[in-house]
Structure 1
Amino acid sequence: MKRHMRWALAPLAVLTLAACGGDDGKSDGATEPSSQTLAATLKGDEAFGTLEQVLTNAGLTEVLEGTGPYTVFAPSDAAFTSTGSDSDFTTEAMRAPAAALLRAHIVPGALTRADIGAAIDSDGTGTVQMRTMADTLLSFTRDGDTIVVTAPDGASAHLTGSEELAKNGVIQPIDALLIKPDPAA
């Protein structure tokens, strides 16, 4: 079992090291990191109003204001409304599920799309996995030019829009939640 865990974490270690590479002064098309934290960047972006409210409700704002680095796979407001669930992760009653939802969308390390794409391309299977803060594995594959992320329960999302580099990590916008909410919640 321990051997399996080491192999499951190997892609994350490679990606984390790639994300920490030195700056050689060359631009690869990515934007320069902001001076804002992940929490401040999410708060300032209209597309993530619901996510920012969920973050506040879950009491995890301080985590995304901290040192990091983290990569947040950030569901848009539309992703929350299209779940087919009545769950409102912004209410006090949903504080614990909100924290679980967020942990399932955050991985350690600052990972750009170029990092994730390079890991997928260099892997012989075309799939790379990363461990979340919820201790689950997200699988990353390609669908044409689009990167698809899939959770263990089968929930999947596409990386969409433009990534945002913060001083303590990266925000990767996604078009769906990476957990299947309970429809009866």
Structure 2
Amino acid sequence: MSNRDSNTPNGAPPKNLVDTAAANDSFHTLSNALEAAELTHVLKDSGPYTVFAPTDAAFEKLPKGTLENWLKPENKAELISVLKYHVLPGRTSSVEVEQLTAARMMQGQSAPIRKDGDKLSIGGARITERDIASSNGVIHAIDTVIVPTKP
């Protein structure tokens, strides 16, 4: 199911990635984490990007204390790494994602992509909502926070 026009009432142009996520009731935790990591300017002012956006429920599945730890100022670099692991340079629709076996994320590592019937996943996280349009990219909601391997 596509939400391509869900944030474009009366033909208005879509919002940027950050404002689109902030307007969606499923992405409050992600929006707060982007602010804490000081990444909002990147996802507002440049692009295009494809964001595999963990829902609030995805963040709740993390082990207790993980998110709180990432949000500490001394762990900002780790938070940035995790968040950039959810961003793919370029605007990639779900149909295009289905054609990939892996995606090289902004963070630098590749995340595996799997298609099983009509289910699509990246890094082990199932894509639960596809093709949420924004002016500088697209958002695909995922049900799990994906974490890059440590170097």
Does the TM-score normalized on the shorter chain lie above 0.5? yes
Task: Determine helix, strand or coil for the equivalent of 1:107.
Answer: strand
- Corresponding residue number in structure 2 for 1:141: 114
Q: Following the alignment from structure 1 to structure 2, what is the Cα–Cα distance between the partners of residues 111 and 181?
A: 23
Task: Determine helix, strand or coil for the equivalent of 1:147.
Answer: strand
Following superposition, the deviation at residue 138 of structure 1 comes to: 1.2
Higher strand residue share: 2
Q: Deviations over 1:143-167 (max 9, x none)?
A: 22111112xxxxx100002431101
Alignment of 1:176 onto 2:144: yes
Alignment of 1:86 onto 2:65: yes
AA matched with 1:135: G
In structure 2, the CA distance between the partners of 1:133 and 1:52, relative to structure 1 (3 Å rule), is same
Q: What TM-score, normalized by structure 1, do the two folds share?
A: 0.69
In structure 2, the CA distance between the partners of 1:30 and 1:43, relative to structure 1 (3 Å rule), is closer
Count, aligned residues? 141
Moved over 6 A (4+): none
Task: Determine helix, strand or coil for the equivalent of 2:18.
Answer: helix
The answer to whether the 8 Å contact 1:85/1:181 transfers is no
Task: Determine helix, strand or coil for the equivalent of 1:160.
Answer: strand
Higher-Rg structure is: 1
Aligned counterpart for 1:107 among listed residues 67, 82, 88? 88
Alignment of 1:157 onto 2:125: yes
AA matched with 1:136: Q
Q: Following the alignment from structure 2 to structure 1, what is the Cα–Cα distance between the partners of residues 21 and 73?
A: 21
Q: Following the alignment from structure 2 to structure 1, what is the Cα–Cα distance between the partners of residues 4 and 18?
A: 18
Q: Following the alignment from structure 1 to structure 2, what is the Cα–Cα distance between the partners of residues 145 and 103?
A: 26
Q: Following the alignment from structure 1 to structure 2, what is the Cα–Cα distance between the partners of residues 134 and 169?
A: 17
Identical aligned residues as a percent: 29
In structure 2, the CA distance between the partners of 1:55 and 1:131, relative to structure 1 (3 Å rule), is same
The answer to whether the 8 Å contact 1:70/1:110 transfers is yes
Q: What TM-score, normalized by structure 2, do the two folds share?
A: 0.84
In structure 2, the CA distance between the partners of 1:91 and 1:49, relative to structure 1 (3 Å rule), is farther
